[in-house]
Amino acid sequence: MSQSDNSTVAHHFEHAHQQFSAAKLGMWLFIVQEILFFSALFVAYAVYRGLHPEMFIDAHHHLSWKMGGTNTLVLIISSFTMAMSIRAAQLNQRMASFWYLFTTLLCACMFMVIKFFEYAEKIHHGYLPSFWFSGEGVYETMHIFFGIYFTMTGLHGLHVLVGMGLIIWLMIETYKGRYNSEYFTPVEMVGLYWHLVDLIWIFLFPLLYLIG
Amino acid sequence: MSSGTNYINATKGIKSWIFTVDHKRIGIMYLAFVLLAFFLGGMFAILLRLELLTPSALYLTAKQYNQAFTLHGAIMVFLFIVPSIPASLGNFFLPIQLGAIDVAFPKLNLASLWIYVIGAVFCFYSIIGGSVDTGWTFYTPYSSSTDTSVIPMIMGVFILGFSSILTGINFIVTVHKMRAPGLSWFKMPLFIWTLYSTAIIQVLATPVLAITVLLLMLERTIGIGIFDPALGGDPVLFQHFFWFYSHPAVYIMILPAMGVISEVVATFCKKKLFGYELMAYSSMAIAFISFLVWGHHLYVSGQSPYATMLFSLLTFLVGIPSGIKVFNWIATMYTGSIDLKSPFLYFLSFIFLFTIGGFTGVVLGSLSLDIHLHDTYFVVAHFHYVMMGGTVMAFLAGLHYWWPKMFGKMYSEVAARIAFIFVFVGFNMVFFIQFIMGSKGMPRRYYNYLPEFQPYHVVSTIGSWILAVGFFIILGYFIHSLMKGKQAPPNPWGSSAMEWKIASPPTTFNFDENLPYIDHGPYDYPKGNS
Amino acid sequence: MSDKHEHFVIPLKYYVFTLIALLILTVVTVAVAQVDLGWLNIYIAMFVAMIKAAFVIFFFMGVRWDESFNKIALFGCLLFVLIFFVIVIADVSTRGGVYSSESEMFDIQSPVRPIGEGGHHGDSSHHGESDSYKSSSSSH
Ligand code: HEM
Ligand SMILES: [Cu+2]
């Protein structure tokens, strides 16, 4: 066993590459479980949309596609800056990596602020899951749409919040100079997570806001 | 060889256990917790059987009875049987059999253990604070309207799910990345193959359980209205979601058991396992097919008849890989030099009981029969034959087989055989009669029943006492072994498997000097190797 | 070189190109949604979303250059999502089906009719909301 002098290699791994590729596989498996976690929501969406097509179309007019669209753009840009920050870490550009992370965080904040205004508006008009639903509409099952809407976007929003926490942690560590071209595993892993958050939104946006 | 330092005495103090990242210590702690859960679930079982001694109420009210069987089921499934073999024996032996120092993510492994404990605390809270009475399946709309403590329990289930997922991720990565030099895929012991396929199910199915119970929580708290018919929802959708996890989950329970059984049969027959490759492939096949059959739990729930027919067909398919395995185990015994030690006795009872359980599963999978048998004691008997006759017997086989390795102590073989007789006889008394009862129409989950069923119930209840005696004997000689047991040699069974080549108990890093180079198959016996 | 695995750095152009593609596709999908194409809308929207997802997966997440098992894990899990999806939808969309096909075959005059199979809505305070799945099964 070649005992590596590199302090970032844990005792049970033989070399840094094994450790990196193990971490990456682990992260992919985590993403796999996230996908299945969300899949049930998409199934529920499809079932109720199939059962109540008119209600869905009517209900989605209460969502603002402009806000949803803006959020889509914001998330896409954040995904790009996240990818760039990994790249910067790989190229030993510490401060560039830091500022890319910062931009990502900023986008995430923007996403949450817009989300906040959206939610506030829905709540104001009573478009809520059924225990509090008091909104107006022609269909009596409309609370189901909003139940699904709040669950899906809520869980997604929760993932954004967790991602923001992780990015803040990365910024601190990057600032301290923990990452370089030899070791940048955490940046890469959080990056994958962040892209997943973007991926889910890519599907949520047309399904909820652009029903047509 | 004996009294050197090993993983147990390498470091001292309670903290050295709570914060350990050694997969062996984590496995031992898991073992302690799942056995505790088994004890608790078993207590509820004894209470249930006692109530059923007479046709009318004996000492429980209807609601208390409902709570007792719910807690029995939920504890046994989520706290005991799902983590049982993978998290305890699996954690201990997977890295060793792979020739690795540890799993890929030791800290995650530790996290998984303590997440399990947190989940268990939620479940206990549910027991104290207004026990759930929905059945372990939490079917809506009852679960979204009952006033018992559903939320703490499903919160616990949600958290336990995470623990299970983390173990699964860890095992998959470990198998992929931590194999010793020379150990190619088809040189891995079958225990690893089954843990690997189990881990795949854990990663793919458990998140669906998580979201299902989360949605149930939301249904109860804010009324999202997708499961509750009063709000326009579809309760059958809940059953789809639930069984999309829970059918694969029954294979999370049985696959590792099959792995243990494969190890035991090879060692005690001193023979290469018959059809090794087929065994590996059939584990993977079971993992895959298990995702296609969940609808056989919904035959009479108002599912579409077309879906029902499809599911019935697919359900028959799952019997094929299981059948392959049974034939291979039996073929392994042929011309082997069989050593009838207690692990092998449990192996034999596994084959016998699992086959009955599997066959009755196929019976239940056929549509017209299931309409009659659904929600009767026939179903109860079926799943106890596979879960207890299958998984628990295999767990016991594994415990007896690996006990000397894990603790470095021998147990009393005579006591083990006596206990085995109690367990085997008791088990069959409790459950075989339930097949008959069920086919005569005794429904499950009722605290009283028609008087003509009483003889059956009496036999079953007496059986449960015999079974309990068996388990207490086991507990007794295991404790005795820990205190006063003979020092175990490194390889008491003369096995050729990797874990028997190192010290008993192993040292902290498993292999003293370099990682082993593994250049031969796992069952390297003179016989059966062509 | 053999034991010192250099990490592959994805060329910048892929990132920039992906960003532009994603932005354009977002505009496209919003634009298409403004035109009413009936049932086609949702399929177009999903198609565009899948292209976008593919861009994110292959380039941002670097799957194009990743180890093969990571690819298998990702795309394999989609198979299970598909199974989940297809079977549940197949069930929900054919729940009433057997009644109509049975009555065609045997001319059963059953007093029991599945809800939604024509006019039996109790009082008709429903707002003409047709259940597309069920009505399709009774429309022949
Ligand atoms: C040969 C393979 C198997 C087949 C074909 C099969 C088939 C079935 C069927 C059709 C049912 C539904 C009965 C009903 O509710 O009407 C059922 C129930 C059940 N099976 Fe199996 N099974 C098999 C193996 C297993 C295994 C290996 C386990 C667990 C280790 C298991 C655990 C269960 C449980 C827990 C239930 C009842 C769940 C409940 O309603 O509470 N089965 N099985
Ligand atoms: Cu099943």
Domain that holds residue C85: 66-92
Q: Give, in order, the Cα–Cα distances in Å from B508 to each of B4, B100, B195, B502.
A: 11, 12, 22, 11
Stretch among A72-81, A102-111, B2-11, B332-341 having the lowest mean pLDDT: B2-11
Q: Are residues C44 and C21 in the same domain?
A: yes
Return the pLDDT at A134: 84
Q: Within 13 Å, how many C-alpha atoms sit on residue B112's CB side?
A: 28
Tell which residue, B1, B170, B192, has the closest CA to residue B93. Answer: B192
Return the pLDDT at C127: 40
Q: CB atoms < 10 A from the CB of C39, how many?
A: 9
Residues of chain C with C-beta less than 8 angstroms from the C-beta of A207 = 45
Q: Which atom of ligand 1 is nearest to the CA of B319?
A: 1
Structure token digits, residue B151: 């939320």
Stretch among B3-7, B311-315, B427-431, B458-462 having the lowest mean pLDDT: B3-7
pLDDT digits (tens, 9 = 90+) for B439-465: 999 999 999 999 999 999 999 999 999
Return the higher-pLDDT residue of B10 and C121.
Answer: B10
Return the pLDDT at C132: 41
Q: Are residues C33 and C74 in the same domain?
A: no
Q: Which atom of ligand 1 is nearest to the CA of B370?
A: 16
Q: Which long-range contacts (CB under 8 A, 24 or more apart) does A17-22 make?
A: A17/C3, A17/C5, A18/B177, A19/A185, A20/A185, A20/C5, A20/C7, A21/B177, A21/C67, A22/B104, A22/B105, A22/B173, A22/B176, A22/B177, A22/B178
Q: Are residues C37 and C79 in the same domain?
A: no
Q: Does residue B364 line the site of ligand 1, with CB under 6 A?
A: yes
Structure token digits, residue B114: 């303590």
Residue B517 lies in a domain: no
CB B223 within 8 A of CB A143: yes
Quote the pTM value. 0.92
Return the pLDDT at B2: 45
Exposure pattern of B232-249 as b/e (b: 16+ CB <10 Å)? bbbbbbbbbbbbbbbbbb
Return the higher-pLDDT residue of B523 and B404.
Answer: B404
pLDDT digits (tens, 9 = 90+) for B356-394: 999 999 999 999 899 999 999 999 999 999 999 999 999
**Where residue B420 sits, what CATH number does that domain have?**
1.20.210.10
- Give the chains touching C; criterion: ≥3 Cβ pairs < 8 Å: A, B
Structure token digits, residue B477: 């000689």
pLDDT digits (tens, 9 = 90+) for A141-150: 899 999 999 9
Q: For residue A83, which amino acid is it?
A: A
Return the higher-pLDDT residue of B82 and C128.
Answer: B82
Q: Within 13 Å, how many C-alpha atoms sit on residue B321's CB side?
A: 23
Residue B519 lies in a domain: no
Q: Are residues C17 and C56 in the same domain?
A: yes
* Span C72-85, average pLDDT: 95
Return the pLDDT at C4: 45
Please give the angle made by the CA atoms of A9, B167 and B244, to the nearest 5 degrees: 140
Residue B75 buriedness (CB in 10 A; 0-12 / 13-18 / 19+)? buried
Residue B299 CA to ligand 1 center (angstroms) comes to 13
Residues of chain C with C-beta less than 8 angstroms from the C-beta of A69 = 26, 30
Q: CB atoms < 10 A from the CB of C129, how many?
A: 17
Per-residue confidence band for A133, with pLDDT thresholds at 50, 70 and 90: confident
**For residue C128, what are the contacts with CB-CB under 8 A and spacing of at least 6?**
none
Per-residue confidence band for C2, with pLDDT thresholds at 50, 70 and 90: very low
- Ligand 1: which of B84, B194, B297 to mutate, most ligand atoms within 8 Å of CB? B297
Per-residue confidence band for C133, with pLDDT thresholds at 50, 70 and 90: very low
* C-alpha to C-alpha distance for A57 and B91, rounded to whole angstroms: 51
* C-alpha to C-alpha distance for A145 and A48, rounded to whole angstroms: 8
Return the pLDDT at C119: 40
Minimal Cα distance from C4: which residue of A?
A17
Residue B246 CA to ligand 2 center (angstroms) comes to 7
* C-alpha to C-alpha distance for C114 and B234, rounded to whole angstroms: 15
Residue B318 lies in a domain: yes
| B173 contact C CB<8A | no
Exposure pattern of C60-90 as b/e (b: 16+ CB <10 Å)? bbbbeebeeebeebbeebeebbeebbebbbe
Residue B522 lies in a domain: no
Q: Give, in order, the Cα–Cα distances in Å from A29 to each of A23, B171, B429, C67, C94.
A: 10, 11, 44, 13, 34
Return the pLDDT at C120: 39
Stretch among A23-27, C113-117, C123-127 having the lowest mean pLDDT: C123-127
Return the pLDDT at C98: 67
Q: CB atoms < 10 A from the CB of C139, how many?
A: 8
| A96 contact C CB<8A | no
Return the pLDDT at C121: 39
Q: Are residues C40 and C71 in the same domain?
A: no
Return the pLDDT at A2: 38
* Span B285-306, average pLDDT: 93
CB B174 within 8 A of CB B192: no
pLDDT digits (tens, 9 = 90+) for A38-88: 999 999 999 999 999 889 988 988 899 999 999 999 999 999 999 999 999
Return the pLDDT at B182: 87
Q: Are residues C56 and C27 in the same domain?
A: yes
Of A11, A36, A131, the CB nearest to B207: A36
Beta-carbon contacts below 8 Å between A and C: 144
Q: Which residue in this structure is represented by tokens 């596989």?
A: A25
Residue C56 lies in a domain: yes
Residue B510 lies in a domain: no
If one counts the domains in chain C, the total is 2
**Across the interface, do C30 and A40 touch by the CB < 8 Å criterion?**
no
- Give the chains touching A; criterion: ≥3 Cβ pairs < 8 Å: B, C
Residue B302 lies in a domain: yes
Q: Are residues C16 and C57 in the same domain?
A: yes
Q: Does residue B341 line the site of ligand 1, with CB under 6 A?
A: no
Return the pLDDT at B181: 87
Stretch among A160-164, B79-83, B306-310 having the lowest mean pLDDT: B306-310
* Span B505-527, average pLDDT: 81
Domain that holds residue B119: 15-501
Return the pLDDT at A189: 95
pLDDT digits (tens, 9 = 90+) for C32-62: 988 888 788 889 999 999 999 999 999 999 9
Q: Which residue in this structure is represented by tokens 């009875």?
A: B65
pLDDT digits (tens, 9 = 90+) for B485-510: 999 999 999 888 889 988 889 988 88
Per-residue confidence band for A129, with pLDDT thresholds at 50, 70 and 90: confident
Does this complex have an ipTM over 0.85? Answer: yes
Of C77, C80, C91, the CB nearest to B307: C91
What are the structural domains of chain A?
A: 39-209 (1.20.120.80)
**Across the interface, do B240 and C88 touch by the CB < 8 Å criterion?**
yes
Calculate the average pLDDT of chain B.
93
* Span B184-193, average pLDDT: 94
Return the pLDDT at C136: 38
Sign of CA dihedral A202, A204, A207, A210: negative
* C-alpha to C-alpha distance for B114 and B14, rounded to whole angstroms: 15
* C-alpha to C-alpha distance for A171 and A166, rounded to whole angstroms: 9
Q: Which atom of ligand 1 is nearest to the CA of B322?
A: 1
State yes or no: pLDDT of B88 exceeds 80.
yes
If one counts the domains in chain B, the total is 1
End-to-end CA distance of chain A: 62
Secondary structure element (H or E) that encloses residue B263, with its range? helix B235-269
Of A26, A132, A140, the CB nearest to B105: A26
* C-alpha to C-alpha distance for A94 and A79, rounded to whole angstroms: 19
Q: CB atoms < 10 A from the CB of B327, how many?
A: 13
Sign of CA dihedral B176, B178, B183, B189: negative
Return the pLDDT at C131: 43
Of B102, B173, B223, the CB nearest to A26: B173
Per-residue confidence band for A3, with pLDDT thresholds at 50, 70 and 90: very low
Beta-carbon contacts below 8 Å between A and B: 111
- Rg of chain B over Cα atoms, rounded to whole angstroms, equals 23
Q: Are residues C71 and C42 in the same domain?
A: no
Tell which residue, B297, B334, B327, has the closest CA to residue B314. Answer: B297
Q: Does residue B253 line the site of ligand 1, with CB under 6 A?
A: yes
CB C102 within 8 A of CB C94: no
Residue B141, preceding peptide bond in cis (omega within 30° of 0): yes
